[in-house]
Amino acid sequence: MKKPKQRSHDNDKRKGGETHQTTTSGDRTLTTNQGVAISDNQNSLKSGDRGPTLLEDFILREKITHFDHERIPERIVHARGSGAHGYFQPLKNLSRLTKAGFLQDPKKPTKVFVRFSTVAGGAGSVDTPRDVRGFAVKFYTEEGNFDLVGNNIPVFFIQDAMKFPDLVHAVKMEPDRGFPQAGSAHDNFWDFVSLMPETMHMLMWAMSDRGIPRSLRHIEGFGVHTFRLVNAKDESTFVKFHWRPALGAASTLWDEAVKIAGADPDYQRRDLWQSIEDGDYPEWTLSVQAFDQATADKLDFDILDPTKIIPEEVIPLTPIGRMVLNENPVNFFAETEQIAFHPGHIVPGIDFTPDPLLQGRLFSYLDTQLSRLGGPNFHEIPINRPVCPMRNFQRDGHMRMNLQPGRVNFEPNSLDPNSPRENPMRGFASFPDPSAGPKLRQRPESFADHYSQARQFWRSMTPPEQSHIVNAFTFELSKVVTPAIRTRMLGHLDVIEPELGKRVAAAMGLEGQADEITPAVKPRDDLEPSPALSIIAKAPETIKGRTVAALVTDGSDGAAVSKLRQALKKEGAQLKLVAPKVGKLKGNGLTPDMQLDGAPSVLFDAVVALPSEEGAEALVDIAGAIDWLRDANGHLKAIGFNEAAGPMLEKAGITPDAKLGIVSLDGGRGLDSFIAAAKKHKIWDREKLMHPPR
């Protein structure tokens, strides 16, 4: 048999072109696209180690420009998004902090458009992977558009924009095989992060329950970076932005997230849309952590480091406004897809800091929109158009819409006295940050502690949340094929917290095989836990905005269903009826909302089994009906049942126990007990019995 010809990975001579040879003598020097050798691929060029990034950094600009234009027209990151219109209203006059007009009058609302998104997957991926969620808000103010472009996690993987293309390349589909989609459980991602200690804090958040939220209505949002607010006296205050959902933060279990992806890939998109259609408008409070330079100097980390948080116990949140989403898009493409966010869209009274990740974003986002939306006139698309007048001398360009008459397209000019002029009084002026220094590629020493806050995050979690983090690392690292990457990551986990490293190693059968990692700065052991970091510790007991499903059959008690519906409505929740068939039921006049085959219990927050005796006899032999209850039990949901459903519970292996949220509705207080259990969202005591911690 003839031996197949082996494909060469070297650059070969192409017909009609030059020969491009690889570097000789094993030289693997990294270069720009123009062949210039790169001395430092880790840091952007800054004015001093804590100064702003310089426009002359041609290496950074080439790298990010190439990255921004890799795909057209889908976003490279945040491709799968869901959006809604709404309004923002300040809670009080904030002139003490800022001169931004939209933050002055508590009676004056500002229109907004919000886009939520996953980060890693393409536009056709599912809603529920373990991933960061984008949380971007465009404020249409009378002084221009302000974009607060953040995530549902307050820190980021990297400290410098120079590494952003590398991060995204590592987490996206592997380039030779085109998978996995919307997932980080593969060699490329873990190889990259295991070689970048600065990612450790963000990894703890991503592997926590924050990575698999219950819905978009239940996520928190963060501006990530430190920004400035500037008042009319030109006094500057540092701020961190926080969005807090009125419903409270909530998550799913991993098994739930996986099954939801199969049952309804559009689960979170559908939930957001339907809640607005039903008039159950999602709402968030915008708060800031506000502090001055003296306070910043006292902190034991650098406020310009985007891998760090300021614990709320150190600087509490100050609520400044309320946002309500009350209108769905009319056209998904024209609005949700074409909206163009940019952290450089700010208004007088808001300003930047020289955070090196933020500085790179200020270039990257504009460059991206030029590629995605066809040219420099993307601001004329209705969803991007400011509500205040636009007056300047920019003309022409692809997709120009505005018709601007006259001969003058320059300034200064004397030909048109009515043409726009600069306005030193009203115009935007950057805060005169005095920091400056020599041009260099270097991280400040104040950015060097990569493990202390990761340890604090672990210690701030409740026992169930810690178990979920262990399970997440175990799952992700078990999908890694290269043994050296696994043992390297186990070494990092040992540094974060020895207990965490041991539990993950034991779960993988790799005890004692962790690499020894020597951190640049020894992690602190004296940081107090921050309860504000835990979803479970601060979860409100409520079922407002949630959905309960009742499994009903021919002959089910219509009065019991009506009573349940009224009790849930009083709590702000809704009831969906699920039946073996979607047609009108006999003997009670009930009309099911969904058919059992298309409505697994994973889609609901709590469940009730209310079959008739005859209906239960039929359901007990239907695997889907038993799995409906079995999954609800495994996913720690509150379960209500009537006497007829007893045989179904028995077959599903479920033992009634009101203390564990498995409640009989027969009797006077049964319904109240069920609702009380459902308000807990998850019955965590049941998890210890069903899934003992690793």
User: Where in the sequence numbering do the catalytic residues fall?
Assistant: 78, 151
Q: What is the mean pLDDT of residues 19-39?
A: 61
Q: Taking the CB of residue 144, how many other CB atoms lie within 10 A of it?
A: 18
Is 281 buried (19+), middle (13-18) or exposed (0-12) by CB count in 10 A? Answer: middle
Tell me what pLDDT residue 633 has: 97
The more confident residue out of 473 and 21 is 473
Q: What secondary structure, in 3-state letters, does 202-262 show?
A: HHHHHCCHHHCECCHHHCCEECCCCEEEECCCCCEEEEEEEEEECCCCCECCHHHHHHHHH
Q: How far apart are the C-alpha atoms of 438 and 485, rounded to whole Å?
A: 37
Select 47-188+212-230+244-251+266-288+314-384's CATH number: 2.30.110.10, 2.60.40.10, 3.40.50.720, 2.40.180.10. Answer: 2.40.180.10
Strands annotated E in 512-569:
547-551
Q: Which residues have a Cβ under 8 Å from the Cβ of 586 and sit 6 or more positions away? A: 554, 555
Please report where in the chains the tokens 């929109």 appear, as a residue: 369
Residue 238, pLDDT > 80, answer yes
Helix (H, G, I), strand (E, B) or coil at 477: helix
If residue 567 lies in a helix (H) or strand (E), which one and from where to where?
Answer: helix 558-570
Is 151:130 a contact under the CB 8 Å cutoff?
no
Is 610 buried (19+), middle (13-18) or exposed (0-12) by CB count in 10 A? Answer: buried
Residue in 107, 64, 109, 128 with CA at minimum distance from that of residue 259: 128
Angle among Cα 357, 361, 362 to the nearest 5 degrees reads 120
The per-residue b/e assignment along 51-62, b for 16 or more CB within 10 angstroms, e otherwise, is bbbeeebebbbe
Tell me what pLDDT residue 26 has: 64
Residue 411, pLDDT > 90, answer no
Tell me what pLDDT residue 5 has: 38
Label residue 423 by pLDDT band (50, 70, 90): confident
Residue 629, pLDDT > 80, answer yes
Please report where in the chains the tokens 């259609």 appear, as a residue: 277
Tell me what pLDDT residue 21 has: 36
Please report where in the chains the tokens 């060029």 appear, as a residue: 45
Please give the distance of CA 349 from its chain centroid, rounded to a whole number: 27
Tell me what pLDDT residue 20 has: 34
Sign of the torsion angle spanned by Cα atoms 534, 536, 538, 539: positive
**Which tokens is 227 given?**
């920004």
Give the count of alpha carbons within 13 A of 224, CB side only: 26
Which one-letter amino acid corresponds to residue 601? S
Tell me what pLDDT residue 3 has: 37
Residue 378, pLDDT > 90, answer no
Q: What is the mean pLDDT of residues 553-578?
A: 96
**Which tokens is 517 given?**
């990692």
Tell me what pLDDT residue 427 has: 85
Is 577:552 a contact under the CB 8 Å cutoff?
yes
Residue 9, pLDDT > 70, answer no
Residue in 532, 552, 631, 636 with CA at minimum distance from that of residue 595: 552
Which one-letter amino acid corresponds to residue 670? G
Q: How far apart are the C-alpha atoms of 137 and 114, rounded to whole Å?
A: 4
Q: How many residues does the chain have?
A: 694
Tell me what pLDDT residue 11 has: 34
Strands annotated E in 257-404:
283-291, 318-327, 350-351
Q: What is the mean pLDDT of residues 289-315?
A: 97
Is 259:624 a contact under the CB 8 Å cutoff?
no
| Per-range mean pLDDT, top range of 26-30, 403-407, 530-534 | 530-534
**Which tokens is 557 given?**
């008690």
Angle among Cα 352, 132, 365 to the nearest 5 degrees reads 40
| Peptide bond between residue 647 and the one before it cis (omega within 30 degrees of 0) | no
Tell me what pLDDT residue 178 has: 92
Tell me what pLDDT residue 13 has: 32
Give the strand pairing for 574-579 and 547-551. parallel
What phi, psi does 322 have (nearest 5°)? -130, 135
Tell me what pLDDT residue 326 has: 98
Torsion of CA 300, 303, 307, 308, to 10 degrees: 50
Tell me what pLDDT residue 69 has: 67
Tell me what pLDDT residue 231 has: 96
Q: What is the mean pLDDT of residues 421-431?
A: 84
Query: Tens digit of pLDDT for each residue in 586-621?
Result: 999 999 999 999 999 999 999 999 999 999 999 999
Tell me what pLDDT residue 495 has: 98
Is 286:245 a contact under the CB 8 Å cutoff?
no
| CATH number for the segment(s) 547-690 | 3.40.50.880
Residue in 191, 213, 190, 16 with CA at minimum distance from that of residue 134: 213
Tell me what pLDDT residue 420 has: 86
Query: Tens digit of pLDDT for each residue in 136-166?
Result: 999 999 998 999 999 999 999 999 999 999 9
Residue 1, pLDDT > 50, answer no
Residue in 335, 326, 332, 311 with CA at minimum distance from that of residue 88: 326
Q: Which residues have a Cβ under 8 Å from the Cβ of 476 and sit 6 or more positions away? A: 130, 184, 185, 190, 207
Query: Tens digit of pLDDT for each residue in 650-691?
Result: 999 999 999 999 999 987 789 999 999 999 999 999 998 888
Is 519:543 a contact under the CB 8 Å cutoff?
no
**Which tokens is 166 given?**
């590398």
Q: What is the mean pLDDT of residues 169-174?
A: 95
Query: Tens digit of pLDDT for each residue in 185-230?
Result: 999 999 999 999 999 999 999 999 999 999 999 999 999 999 999 9
Is 355:304 a contact under the CB 8 Å cutoff?
yes
Domain ranges of the chain: 47-188+212-230+244-251+266-288+314-384, 547-690
Q: Report the chain's mean pLDDT, rounded to a whole number.
A: 92
Residue in 682, 670, 605, 622 with CA at minimum distance from that of residue 643: 670
Lowest-confidence pick of 26-30, 295-299, 376-380, 488-492: 26-30
Tell me what pLDDT residue 433 has: 78
Tell me what pLDDT residue 546 has: 96
Which DSSP category does 104 fall into? T
**Which tokens is 445 given?**
């020493």
Q: What is the mean pLDDT of residues 353-378?
A: 90
Label residue 28 by pLDDT band (50, 70, 90): confident
Distances (CA, A) of 320 to 96, 119, 317: 12, 28, 9
Given strand 606-609, what is the order of strands in its sheet?
A: 594-595, 574-579, 547-551, 606-609, 639-641, 662-664
Residue 40, pLDDT > 90, answer no
Please report where in the chains the tokens 């969620």 appear, as a residue: 133
Residue in 366, 348, 377, 401 with CA at minimum distance from that of residue 141: 348
The more confident residue out of 408 and 9 is 408
